[in-house]
């Protein structure tokens, strides 16, 4: 056994080219062989038992570590894979929901308009087709009593569809004239017309499967989605699914099933191509590549059935889809998405060359090293009982090992210096990228404001009816919604623009003597409606005699708007909001906004001062906002030479204070003189604004 181990060790270390490692390997082998010889020549019984226990413990540790390393790397691969996979799944689910909303919008149009012509249907649906490449057909399927069949066929011919008639499919899948029946559900309008003209007049009541779907949608009063099985003569080049929506004679859905059956006008049906839907949704992803997508139909009657397989476009081998038993093994994520009652599972699997780690190499390496250390420990226990000569030789060998360790230590120091230089270079690149980002946001925000101002202006013209009355009063409400949404978006763009200017050192302060009380009174009307709706109590406290500030009035107004908006937003109904202003004992001018709202925990307070960051960052969060209010206020205070303070606790409210330095306070008795000084300060070359203007020139 000792000879076999010796031969294995020699072959292992022969692979290394470094002389130091080969020398160290020879010495380790020699020590192990010497210990084995001593063990066989007569070691005490207690020493033998200790050696056996140490050896068994080493095997247990090596085996446990082997499985632990495998688990670690597999977990690491799963975590690295789950992020991109979740992004793929979310994008596909949202894309499917958007396509279903197209049917909802067409149904709302038909309900609101009543009877529509073919050209009105065409004008409404053509806007949705370019934005949804996966739409194969949008159809209007009216409910036609048996006695009105001739009238509908005559109307279609009058609209330009020569030879229009109600048809159905026979047992061979060919179109024939529809048989007489008490009620028909024909495809009366269809867009796009090209490639779908054969659907016109097709009576879905003749197909039991289609009639079952229509009946289900009629009775539940909502959307019904299902995979589409096309006849063999009209098979698409990719799998499809349909979404059906009933349209009633009333604006609201009738309460009972019988009323829904009596008031049914017809159905809107959308036929969608899964392949085009997936292909159109994936280019907008920022996730790394290397993922395959499987879409399974989760039908209780049929079980899981593969609907569509999307392979990573950059794969070289281009294999077909995996069998179901392999797709649900190894690294994968499976998410069930329900679309209008139809459940389908999105399975994402990594390509073999992506998101993988060399698990076996690391695990076997740990196992081998642990066993080697165990063998060394066993040899040490045996050799410690040998002669004094063995001890002296061990001391000499240890000295040589320390020399090797010194060499390794010097190499490690050199490597650390190199890594430090690389980190410094990466930091410089990150700062350059951050400045470029700020300049880009400033430019894009400015470019977005021009068309947005036009949208707001035209919306105000529609609201005021400057060019004449609007026929339908609902349009005026929609125009008001456009104006409010535009103003909200404009305020967000202004916040982004201001923050970008500050980060790019392009924001200038136009300083003047500002009365804080007057500025607050100009801001309050923006929030009075919301405070009245929530029954919030408001209180303002100003120290007398009142002092003024040498500050940028627009910036101060923006900061008060941000603080009051947060206070109103996060204070529950019946709460209290307090605004106080005055100088403290050290001469600082403090403006504080306090509320009795939900509060902020101590660990979350640094987060709210970061741009685009909110404590509640989930997609379904209760409070809306971009997370720019407090970060922008903090930057504006720093430009004024002051700072922002937050005092808050969960369920106890929040108090945010703006602390201005003493040199910006204008005392009441010297206000007029200080106003003159403030004006000279604005033209002083050493001030912030003048310095920036001089630098810009």
Q: Domains of the chain (ranges plus CATH)? A: 432-503 (1.10.287), 511-615+624-696 (3.30.565.10)
Record the tokens describing residue 507, joined without a space: 């924001």
Record the tokens describing residue 409, joined without a space: 């230590």
Nearest in space to 598 (alpha carbons), one of 562, 569, 636: 569
The reported pLDDT for the residue numbered 359 is 57
Rounded percentage of the chain residues whose pLDDT exceeds 90: 11
Residue 540 has a CB neighbour count (10 Å cut-off) of 13
Cβ-based neighbours of 94, under 8 Å, separated by 6 or more: 281
The reported pLDDT for the residue numbered 682 is 34
**What is the rounded distance in angstroms from the CA atom of residue 587 to the CA atom of residue 598?**
32
**What is the rounded distance in angstroms from the CA atom of residue 276 to the CA atom of residue 238?**
8
User: Residue 541: is the preceding peptide bond cis (ω within 30°)?
Assistant: no
Q: pLDDT digit string (tens) for 158-175?
A: 888 888 899 998 888 788
220 close to 248: Cβ distance less than 8 angstroms: no
User: Residue 155: is the preceding peptide bond cis (ω within 30°)?
Assistant: no
Cβ-based neighbours of 181, under 8 Å, separated by 6 or more: 146, 205, 206
pTM of the model: 0.46
Q: pLDDT digit string (tens) for 253-280?
A: 898 999 999 899 999 999 988 888 888 8
444 close to 499: Cβ distance less than 8 angstroms: no
**What is the rounded distance in angstroms from the CA atom of residue 170 to the CA atom of residue 176?**
7
Q: pLDDT digit string (tens) for 8-61?
A: 444 554 444 345 445 555 555 555 545 445 444 455 666 667 777 877 888 888
Average pLDDT across the chain, whole number: 77
User: What is the average pLDDT across 288-317?
Assistant: 73
178 close to 231: Cβ distance less than 8 angstroms: no
- Say if residue 214's pLDDT is above 70: yes
Strands 144-145, 291-299: pairing is unpaired
Residue 578 has a CB neighbour count (10 Å cut-off) of 17
Three-state SS string over 588-605 comes to CEEEEEEECCCCCCHHHC
- DSSP three-state, residue 223: coil
| DSSP code of residue 203 | B
């Amino acid at each position: 056994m000792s000879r076999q181990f010796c031969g294995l060790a020699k072959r292992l270390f022969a692979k290394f080219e470094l002389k130091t490692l080969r020398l160290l390997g020879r010495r380790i082998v020699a020590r192990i062989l010497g210990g084995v010889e001593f063990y066989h020549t007569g070691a005490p019984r207690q020493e033998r038992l200790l050696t056996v226990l140490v050896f068994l413990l080493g095997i247990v540790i090596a085996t446990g570590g082997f499985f632990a390393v495998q688990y670690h790397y597999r977990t690491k691969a799963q975590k690295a894979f789950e992020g991109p996979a979740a992004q793929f799944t979310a994008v596909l689910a949202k894309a499917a929901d958007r396509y279903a909303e197209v049917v909802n919008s067409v149904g709302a149009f038909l309900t609101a308009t009543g009877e529509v012509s073919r050209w009105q249907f065409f004008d409404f649906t053509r806007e949705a087709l370019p934005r949804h490449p996966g739409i194969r057909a949008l159809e209007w399927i009216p409910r036609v009593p048996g006695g009105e069949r001739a009238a509908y066929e005559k109307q279609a011919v009058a609209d330009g569809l020569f030879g229009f008639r109600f048809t159905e499919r026979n047992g061979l899948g060919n179109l024939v004239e529809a048989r007489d029946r008490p009620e028909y559900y024909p495809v009366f309008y269809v867009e796009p017309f090209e490639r779908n003209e054969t659907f016109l007049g097709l009576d879905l009541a003749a197909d039991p499967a289609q009639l079952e779907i229509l009946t289900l949608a009629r009775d539940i009063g909502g959307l019904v989605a299902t995979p589409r099985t096309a006849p063999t003569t009209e098979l698409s080049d990719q799998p499809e699914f349909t979404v059906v929506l009933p349209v009633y004679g009333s604006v609201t859905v009738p309460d009972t099933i019988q009323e829904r059956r009596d008031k049914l006008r017809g159905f809107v049906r959308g036929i969608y191509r899964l392949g085009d839907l997936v292909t159109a949704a994936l280019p907008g992803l920022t996730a790394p590549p290397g993922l395959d997508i499987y879409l399974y139909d989760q039908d209780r009657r049929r079980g899981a059935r593969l609907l569509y397989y999307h392979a990573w476009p950059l794969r070289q081998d281009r294999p077909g889809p995996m069998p179901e038993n392999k797709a649900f093994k190894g690294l994968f994520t499976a998410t069930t998405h329900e679309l209008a009652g139809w459940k389908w599972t999105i399975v994402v699997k990594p390509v073999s060359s992506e998101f993988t780690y060399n698990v076996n190499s690391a695990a076997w390496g740990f196992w081998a090293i642990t066993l080697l250390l165990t063998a060394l420990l066993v040899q040490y226990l045996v050799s410690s009982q040998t002669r004094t000569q063995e001890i002296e030789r061990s001391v000499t060998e240890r000295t040589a090992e320390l020399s090797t360790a010194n060499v390794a230590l010097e190499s490690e120091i050199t490597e650390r210096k190199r890594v430090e230089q690389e980190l410094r270079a990466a930091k410089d690149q990150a700062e350059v990228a951050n400045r470029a980002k700020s300049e880009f946001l400033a430019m894009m925000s400015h470019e977005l404001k021009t068309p947005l101002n036009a949208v707001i202006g035209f919306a105000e013209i529609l609201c005021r009816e400057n060019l004449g009355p609007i026929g339908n009063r609902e349009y005026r409400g929609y125009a008001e919604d456009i104006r409010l949404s535009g103003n909200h978006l404009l305020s967000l763009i202004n916040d982004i623009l201001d923050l970008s200017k500050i980060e790019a050192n392009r924001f200038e302060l136009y300083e003047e003597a500002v009365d804080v009380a007057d500025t607050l009174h100009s801001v309050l009307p923006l929030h009075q409606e919301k405070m009245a709706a929530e029954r919030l109590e408001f209180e303002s406290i100003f120290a007398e005699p009142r002092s003024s500030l040498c500050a940028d009035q627009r910036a101060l107004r923006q900061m008060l708007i941000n603080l009051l908006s947060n206070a109103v937003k996060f204070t529950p109904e019946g709460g209290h909001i307090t605004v106080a202003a005055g100088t403290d004992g050290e001469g600082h001018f403090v403006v504080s906004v306090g509320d009795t709202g939900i509060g902020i925990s101590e660990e979350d307070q640094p987060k709210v001062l970061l741009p685009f960051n909110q404590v509640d960052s989930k997609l379904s969060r209760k409070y809306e906002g971009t997370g720019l209010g407090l970060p922008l206020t903090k930057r504006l205070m720093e430009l004024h030479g002051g700072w922002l303070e937050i005092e808050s606790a969960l369920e106890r409210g929040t108090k945010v204070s703006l602390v201005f330095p003493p040199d910006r306070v204008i005392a009441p008795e010297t206000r007029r003189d200080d106003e003159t000084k403030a004006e000279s300060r604005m033209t002083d070359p050493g001030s912030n604004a003048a310095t920036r203007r001089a630098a810009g020139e």
